[in-house]
Amino acid sequence: MNILIVEDDIRVAELIQRGLDEQGFTSMIAYDGLSAKKLALQNDYELIITDIILPKMDGLDLCKEIRQIKPDVPIIMLTALGTTDDKVEGFDAGADDYLVKPFEMRELMVRVRALLKRNGRPASPTGFILKYGDLEMNLHTKVVKRGEVELNLTPKEFKLLEYMMQNPERVLSRVEIAEKVWDTHFDTGTNFINVYINYLRKKVDENFDTKLIHTKSGMGFILKQD
């Protein structure tokens, strides 16, 4: 497994590299965003670990650039910025996971293995078109429509809606959403799942008479027609 580490702090970069080496991974370090972009687009990496605050190009822009060319490579963001808004910004840029500094190497390895496992899963058996009511999602083109209206979703909004459309009319708990959509366990005190549900509601339901995304108090969320 070949992993790209993007970190301008030499000590942190080498610490991560040693941890990956001990787990049998092969890794390469880039110390700025532009060098990382060049490496990421020229080589095939199974996973990218990147800081957000970087010289020459920050991690958010780097993530967006990589996503345009290689949409499927897993990306973990590392940062000292840990508010809900910071996490949402990272996920909206296309990150698959987000780890706040300082972190334990053991936790990083858990996130790495979880993302690699998810990335190796077979394609969804439901096919590449998901439909529920007048809501339609094309998993190949990443186009989502409600009736004739195309919905502009961020990568994480898309993944969340995809999971809900694969499990319609079933209550999905916050824990299940965190595990299945983000492939990790999140601090139960965070409200970022509620934030993304609200984002989806504004795009999927706000301008339509029939509401599809509903909250079950104390239990979670469900995709169903009124």
Query: Are 9 and 51 spatial neighbours (Cβ–Cβ below 8 Å)?
Result: yes
Distance (Å, whole) CA 85 – CA 180: 21
What's the confidence (pLDDT) of residue 181? 82
What's the confidence (pLDDT) of residue 1? 67
* Positions of the chain with pLDDT under 50: 121-126
What's the confidence (pLDDT) of residue 35? 93
Tokens of 22: 């001990």
Q: How far is CA 53 from the centre of its chain?
A: 19
Q: Which helix (H) or strand (E) holds 39?
A: helix 33-42
Distance (Å, whole) CA 151 – CA 46: 30
Number of Cβ within 10 Å of residue 156's Cβ equals 23
Q: Helix or strand or coil: residue 32?
A: coil
What's the confidence (pLDDT) of residue 122? 40
Q: Helix or strand or coil: residue 159?
A: helix
pLDDT tens digits, 178-221: 888 876 665 555 687 888 999 999 999 998 999 999 999 888 99
* Burial class of 90 by CB neighbour count within 10 A (0 to 12, 13 to 18, 19+): buried
- In the chain the domains, ranked by start, together with CATH numbers, are 2-119 (3.40.50.2300), 129-223 (1.10.10.10)
Query: Are 160 and 91 spatial neighbours (Cβ–Cβ below 8 Å)?
Result: no
